[in-house]
Amino acid sequence: MAEATADAAREETETFLKHATEATAADLLAADGYIFAAPENLAAIAGVMKDFYDRTYYEVLGMIEGRPYAQMVCAGSDGENAARQTARIATGWRLKAVQEPLIICTHAQTTEQILAEKTITEDDLARCRDLGAAIGAGLAMGIF
């Protein structure tokens, strides 16, 4: 999902894709906008994403206000709580949501399905590419 989104955004504007374990406050400060992507685990954002927010939140607080963001959640059931958590963090940073969260539901409900590598359908990947292209174009044109 993240790669499809980044590839589409890259066609519109300079784009960097960083895994949450590698992303830093300096990356947030250097960017004009953000697309946050995370899986939902146990009805919450994945721990690795929470760690990213914990490591960077106060370091950039008050320095990225007004920047645009969008988010994507890959969930086994509904993804709403993970989206809500990211939105609350973005609100604290005073970021501007430029689209509703994109939630891709894999319907993984059994232990085996949850632990298995997920396959995202071409229709859902197209939705990811649309998000990336829209955010990239909006940044490139100065709309956001």
Q: What is the pTM of this model?
A: 0.93
The pLDDT value recorded for residue 139 is 97
The pLDDT value recorded for residue 105 is 95
CATH number for the domain that contains residue 29: 3.40.50.360
The pLDDT value recorded for residue 90 is 98
Residues of the chain with pLDDT under 70: none
- Print the domain residue range for 74: 2-136
User: Does any domain span residue 26?
Assistant: yes
Residue 101 token pair: 């969260």
Q: Is 22 helix (H, G, I), strand (E, B) or coil?
A: coil
The pLDDT value recorded for residue 1 is 96
User: Does any domain span residue 141?
Assistant: no
Long-range own/partner contacts, residues 24-29 (CB < 8 A, 24 or more apart): 24/55, 24/56, 25/55, 25/56, 25/59, 25/60, 28/56, 28/60, 28/64, 29/60, 29/63, 29/64
Please give the single-letter amino acid code of residue 1.
M
User: Does any domain span residue 106?
Assistant: yes
- Determine the Cα–Cα distance for residues 27 and 42; give it in Å rounded to an integer: 28
Q: How many domains does the chain have?
A: 1
* Residue of 7, 84, 6 whose CA lies nearest to 40: 84
User: Does any domain span residue 121?
Assistant: yes
User: Does any domain span residue 36?
Assistant: yes
The pLDDT value recorded for residue 77 is 87
User: Does any domain span residue 144?
Assistant: no
The pLDDT value recorded for residue 114 is 87
User: Does any domain span residue 56?
Assistant: yes
